[in-house]
Amino acid sequence: SSGINAECPLRPGVFLLTDTRESRWLPTLICSSKHKICINSALGFDTYLVMRHGVKGECEVLEAPHIGASTISGSQLGCYFCNDVVAPGDSTKDRTLDQMCTVTRPGNAFVAASLAVELMVSILQHPLEGQAPATLDLNDEKQDSCLGRVPHQIRGFLAHFSSVQPASHAFDKCTACCMEIISRYRENKMGFLMEAFNDANYLEKVSGLADMLENTNFDDVWEFDSDIESD
């Protein structure tokens, strides 16, 4: 992590192009703690994800999501781990080669890499840079940079050569970017990292995920899911 910490202040942003989910956790945490632009690119066999992580101000707090809002402030956007309800673990254990995202269509990586570069350029050309808002309204050009749209995510599907641009809010119990995790990391970097590496449940405890899961009534979750399917 020392190399990333040293280089991070010297660069306008960081690209995450690593092969596994867990290898993205520490760079995501470092970028979050330093309020740095982070562009993440991930591949499936015939799918790709290119996304930017939210960049919070030094004293900025996470707001509650506004249901139905068409625009999300750049400081309130989620990171790669914000949709997870478990801490990152060993994603390659007991998986075949094709399940490790190692096997992918020949042009997939080039498409994702190109979009990642273009997204970074669009962010840097926006007046708010990393705090540029993301909009779900394809007709809303008020949030654009001089180069056009600055989406939160680009999810592509090569099977039918299409893509979508969803946006999601940051999670207040995220294991990579919530304030409790960042505060612990800043207080004692190596001590915090050693705890996280040696205890698979540590991040869930610190972030509050463990308490949330313990207090969740999963019967209500399944009932809610059934209601959606019946609708």
Comparing C-alpha atoms, which of 29, 200, 198, 41 is closest to residue 114? 41
Tell me the C-alpha distance between 17 and 82, whole Å.
18
Q: Which residues contact 21 (CB under 8 A, 6 or more apart)?
A: 42, 80, 88, 91
Catalytic residues: 101
Paired sense of beta strands 13-16 and 37-43, if any: parallel
183 membership: H or E segment, kind and range = helix 179-187
DSSP 186-229: HH-HHHHHHHHHH-TTHHHHHHTHHHHHHT--HHHHHHHHHHHH
Comparing C-alpha atoms, which of 74, 88, 50, 64 is closest to residue 174? 88
